[in-house]
Structure 1
Amino acid sequence: MQNWFQVKATYEKMLENGTQKKVTESFLLDSLSFTEAESRAVEELKPYISGEFTIADIKRARLSELFFNDNGDRYFKAKVCFITLDEKSGTEKKTSVQMLAQASSLREALQVVNKGMDGTLADYFIASLSETAIMDVFPYSEEQKKKIQL
């Protein structure tokens, strides 16, 4: 199972009008620990950020699945509820999980999640879908990315 960490980096960003502004942006990394997440974040962000930057925050992201889509430029968090039947009492039980989908719009994110869930035998429904502030995702290797083609 993958451990995902959301890392916030603070740095001076050059805006389109030529001025510099201090910004804090979020990134998602696959790591074993908080320490490794910080060192991986520094290594992954060095090529993209000119000048100095600091890691402002690291927190564990509880994600059960990530769906990558080459057409997408934003990341959307989906709350997916699985419905199971308790055979002893005969009642329905809902289990919620968080998933992340890469897409360019909310509608496309919904399609990516549904396409990624194809072949799932469990009954499920998408309880919520919202855009996140995550700028980029860094898994351990490109082969681990579960790509969805629409």
Structure 2
Amino acid sequence: MSATWYECKVKYRKIDESGVQKVVSEPYLVDALSFTEAESRINTEMAAFVTEEFKIVNIKVANFAEIHNFENSDRWFKSKVSLLAYDEESGKERKTSFYLLIQANDVKEAFDNTMQVMQNTMGEFTIPAISESPIVDVFPFFKGEEVSEEKLIG
């Protein structure tokens, strides 16, 4: 079963590079089973590093087919990948597009990382677009985060 990613927009006070405090609204991704779990997870994740009060202003299902993080990369890029297939009945070429969220330091590295992810793809594909994503951080689900039944019963 593939993961469902939720984009959670969080509003909070942040001190910028010049030392001025300002209110920002930033998107984060969490891996969750439902909107309720996404809200709970983003609350937990944000409480760990935001000392001020914060507010979750929006939660929506993200349209990423896969998310790939790479070591020594600090930004996220949205790569559009189009798979090309030949429809034998109609005799026409068909494109199916999807989005990958790729971690990289710049657009060229995002292209290289996308090519690395797609290298074992059997069919023909193109990468028509890569753009920097506003996503600040991604919080995947890890085993051990779930509450054990013993704790719930006992």
* TM-score of the superposed pair, with normalisation by structure 1: 0.91
Alignment root-mean-square deviation, CA: 1.1
**Displacement of 1:91:** 1.0
Of stretches 15-24 and 39-48 in structure 1, the one that deviates more from structure 2 is: 15-24
> What SS is found at the alignment partner of 1:108?
helix
CA distance in 2, matches of 1:18, 1:89: 62
Task: Name the aligned partner's letter for residue 5 of structure 2.
Answer: W
Give matches, 1:55-74, under 5 Å: 55-74=56-75
Matched residues in 1 for 2:72 and 2:121: separation?
24
Distance in 2, Cα, partners of 1:14 & 1:39: 25
**Residues in 2 aligned to 1:109 and 1:72: alpha-carbon distance in whole angstroms:** 10
Deviation of 1:67 after TM superposition, in Å, equals 1.4
In structure 1, list runs of 5 or more residues that go unmatched.
143-150
CA radius of gyration, larger in? 2
Pairs within 5 Å for 1:1-150: 1-141=2-142
Q: Sequence identity, in percent?
A: 42
Query: How many residues matched?
Result: 142
Residue identity in the other structure for 1:78? S
CA deviations 1:57-100 (Å, max 9, x no partner) are 11111111111111211100011000011111221100010111
Which whole-Å CA distance do the structure 1 matches of 2:111 and 2:18 have between them?
Answer: 35
Q: Distance in 1 between matches of 2:118 and 2:68?
A: 10
CA distance in 2, matches of 1:17, 1:79: 35
Q: Distance in 1 between matches of 2:51 and 2:108?
A: 34
> Aligned partners of 1:52 and 1:78: how far apart in 2?
34
1:146 corresponds in structure 2 to: none
Aligned residue for 1:58, secondary structure, equals strand
Deviation, 1:50, is: 1.1
1:38 is matched by which residue type in structure 2?
E
In 2, the alpha carbon distance for the partners of 1:129 and 1:17 equals 31
Distance in 1, Cα, partners of 2:65 & 2:19: 40
Match of 1:121, SS state, is coil
- Greater Cα shift, 133-142 or 35-44: 133-142
1:48 aligned partner, one-letter code: F
